[in-house]
Chain A
Amino acid sequence: EVQLVESGGGLVQPGGSLRLSCAASGFTFSNYWMHWVRQAPGEGLAWVSQINEGGTTTNYAASVKGRFTISRDNAKNTLYLQMNGLRAEDTAVYYCASNLLDWGQGTLVTVSS
Chain B
Amino acid sequence: QAGLTQPPSVSKGLRQTATLTCTGNSNNIDNQGAAWLQQHQGHPPKLLSYRNNNRPSGVSERFSASRSGNTASLTITGLQPEDEADYYCSAWDSSLRAWVFGGGTKLTVL
Which of B50, B98, B102 makes the CB contact (< 8 A) with A100?
B50
Let me know if B40 is at the binding interface, CB within 8 A.
no
Chain B residue with Cβ nearest A65: B98
Chain A residue with Cβ nearest B57: A101
Using a Cβ–Cβ cut-off of 8 Å, how many residues does chain A contribute to the interface with B? 20
Contacting pair A46 B47 (CB below 8 A): no
| Given A45-B45, A62-B1, A95-B45, A100 and B90 contact (CB-CB distance below 8 Å) | yes
| Given A44-B88, A100-B35, A62 and B45 contact (CB-CB distance below 8 Å) | no
Main secondary structure of the interface of A (DSSP, over half): strand
Chain B residue with Cβ nearest A101: B47
| Given A100-B35, A100-B37, A103-B44, A63 and B102 contact (CB-CB distance below 8 Å) | no
A-B contact count (CB 8 A): 49
Quote the shortest CB–CB distance from B98 to chain A (angstroms): 6
Question: How far apart are the CA atoms of A101 and B59 in the complex, in Å?
Answer: 11
| Given A100-B35, A100-B37, A45 and B97 contact (CB-CB distance below 8 Å) | no
Contacting pair A46 B101 (CB below 8 A): yes
CB neighbours of B81 from chain A (8 A): none
| Given A100-B47, A104-B44, A44 and B102 contact (CB-CB distance below 8 Å) | yes
Let me know if A35 is at the binding interface, CB within 8 A.
yes
| Given A45-B45, A100-B37, A103-B44, A60 and B98 contact (CB-CB distance below 8 Å) | yes
- The 16 sampled A-B contact pairs (Cβ below 8 Å) are A37-B45, A44-B101, A44-B102, A45-B45, A45-B88, A45-B90, A45-B104, A46-B101, A47-B99, A47-B100, A47-B101, A59-B98, A97-B45, A101-B56, A103-B44, A105-B44
Question: Which B residues fall within an 8 A CB radius of A?
Answer: 1, 35, 37, 39, 44-47, 50, 56, 86, 88, 90, 96-104
